[in-house]
A = this chain, B = another copy of it.
Amino acid sequence: MSPGKEPSGQLIEALKSLGLTKYEALVYIGLLQFDGATATEIHEISGVPRASVYPVLDKLVQKGLVIVSNTVPKRFDALPPKKGIIKLKENIESDAEFAGTELENIYISRMCPEKERQELIWSISGSENIINRLRQSIGEAGTEIQIISDYDFIKTHLHDTLFKTDSNPVMQIITDRWEGEVPPDTTVKIVEDKINECFESKNEMSGIFIIDSKRVLVIMSSPGHEPSAIFSESNGFLDFFSNYWRFISYHIDRKHTVRILQG
């Protein structure tokens, strides 16, 4: 029995996060390669110690990923991968549902010092988390959105969000270029030369987003590091960035070649 090439660690990790142990993953993978194998064959294919194969198979049967023949020796048959994955996800899904309602109960009865929270400045790490928070804030915008950001970022992460706001806020966008349509109620200022000077030079900021003059999100990404962002509703913070925005807006009108698009 050739052991086949052993499965990638990544695959096993993936199966682990679906609720299997390393052995369970190995045995399941082994069974997919050789449907109807005996315990000893599984041991040989998967590299799992023979004595450990039995309890592991028990668990897999229990989880409904494997069925057993009642021959001697026993033979085992694995659910095809698609169905197997669905089954594993089902188990997780039901847990997720339970946890969801349970946590919601806890959440609605929480104590929450809103007053002070507002003055705090929050850090967000990881580009995905930043994008999420940003999209949410833009989606919740009531009247006004101010943006300084390079177009690549807007295009890849924000384009749809900007068109899909419920309350049609007035948007002012300062960026380096623009493709396609401009959203309604929107002014796009395109700084054709050296946009970098404005916000990408020293401090590595790659974007400033001010929502309803009430919330700011500033993205900072220095090369090499994970991108991070700060988010606040603090007045001081807001004043600073509102001023900064006004300053930039005024500055580029005078010093740069600016093209204006109206939505």
Contact = CB atoms under 8 A, between A and B. Distances in A.
Contact of A85 (B34, B96, B132): B96
Contact of A64 (B89, B99, B100, B132): B132
B121 A70 contact: yes
A70 B68 CA distance: 56
Interface stretch (A9-17, A187-195, A252-260): A9-17
A51 interface: no
Contact of A62 (B85, B106, B126, B231): B126
List the number of copies, as a whole number. Answer: 2
Given A34-B110, A103-B32, A121 B10 contact: no
Nearest to A129: B64
Contact of A110 (B33, B95, B102, B126): B33
A80 B67 CA distance: 40
Interface in A107-165: 107, 109-113, 116-117, 120-126, 128-129, 132-133
B122 A14 contact: no
Contacts of A3: none
Nearest to A5: B106
Interface residues of A, number: 66
A243 interface: no
A92 B122 contact: no
A160 B129 CA distance: 43
A62 B122 contact: no
B107 A77 contact: no
Given A32-B103, A92-B92, 6 more contacts: A8-B102, A17-B92, A29-B106, A71-B121, A81-B104, A81-B107
Nearest to A230: B70
A36 B113 contact: yes
Contacts of A11: 98-99, 102-103
